[in-house]
Amino acid sequence: MELWLTETYGPIRGGWKAGGVLYSKQSKYQLVEIVETERWGKTLVLDGCMMTTEKDEFVYHEMLTHPAMVSHPAPKSICVVGGGDGGTVREVLRHPGVERVVLAEIDGDVIDVCRKYFPDHTSKLDDPRVDIQVGDGFEYLKNHQGEFDIILSDSTDPIGPGEVLFTQEYFALTKRALRDGGVLVTQSHSPWDPDSRLRNIRDVLLHNFSQAHWYGAVIPTYPYGWWSFFFASDKVHPLESARIERMQEITQNSKYFTPAVHDAAFAVPAFLARELGVA
């Protein structure tokens, strides 16, 4: 018998040879499953979408976290919205100046399941600087204005519980929750997705921030193998503000991020520059 974990994204499909299903349970919000795959090890699948795996998670978590962390002059107070698998919190805490990380995850079951199946992802969740808030990130930010240097929007796709995290209302809220000169980073799907809303996401970000820089990374278990992010801020520029010493420090323990990779991520291919209106 051959077992394959298969995910269909409109006109394309990804498949991963699987060893078996280790966990499967409907939470209050979504179907939470853990599948063992041959190439990527244990995999968290939410409502049928691969969210994180043991072996390729480093790309997503490093690239969601470090570009903002090495560019902000002194990031001390960080909020991760979503990110219940813990990987983003782990990367944030590689930066020694951090005093506080709030993890605002709506689905407590995801955190519990990941503590069991992803010990490396969740290795920093019990650090005393971490404040786990199980609940609606949207509501949390409403009640915590001007508190954060960096907000990392570690959301699922804009369907299901993550949908609200790509709206004007949400981005306006993140702006108010940031301190002066703060940075918002949000994941933003694959540029190869024909339904990608990258131009729209950029426009909405620019209603709230004076800069919104697209950047990319290769993530083999996400649709099309190429993923993207936006770096939004009024004062911090990812290429002009990044500190080389902090980049080199992070590179000592990174698997993907390097100073050259940081710069390279912000290079926009010609077709996408036209699509985004930045050519």
The residues of the shown chain that bind a second copy, judged by CB under 8 A, are 4, 6, 8, 10-17, 37-39, 56, 58-59, 192, 194, 216, 218, 220, 224-226, 251, 254-258, 260-261, 263-271, 273
**Would you say 39 or 176 has its CB closer to a second copy?**
39
* Active site (annotated) includes residue 154: yes
Tokens coding 274 = 């036209």
Q: How far is the CB of 120 from a second copy (least distance, A)?
A: 15
**Would you say 31 or 267 has its CB closer to a second copy?**
267
Note the Cα 199 to chain centre separation in Å: 19
Helix axes 168-177, 198-208, angle to 10 degrees: 40
Q: How far is the CB of 130 from a second copy (least distance, A)?
A: 25
Asked whether the beta carbons of 254 and 269 are under 8 A apart, the reply is no
Q: By C-alpha distance, which of 51, 202, 39, 61 is closest to 120?
A: 61
Cβ-proximal residues to 212 (8 Å cutoff; 6+ apart), any chain: 202, 205, 206, 230, 231, 232
**Would you say 168 or 248 has its CB closer to a second copy?**
248
End-to-end CA, the chain = 50
The Cα–Cα gap between 190 and 194 comes to 9
Q: Strand ranges (DSSP E) for 106-223?
A: 130-134, 148-154, 178-187, 211-218
**H-helix or E-strand spanning residue 203:** helix 198-208
Q: How far is the CB of 264 from a second copy (least distance, A)?
A: 4
Q: How far is the CB of 139 from a second copy (least distance, A)?
A: 36
**Would you say 181 or 220 has its CB closer to a second copy?**
220
Beta bridge partners of 131: 102
Q: How far is the CB of 162 from a second copy (least distance, A)?
A: 22
**Would you say 140 or 222 has its CB closer to a second copy?**
222
Tokens coding 213 = 């820089």
The Cα–Cα gap between 233 and 215 comes to 14
Q: How far is the CB of 63 from a second copy (least distance, A)?
A: 10
The Cα–Cα gap between 203 and 220 comes to 28
Catalytic residue among 56, 107, 154, 193: 154
**Would you say 148 or 229 has its CB closer to a second copy?**
229
Positions marked catalytic: 154
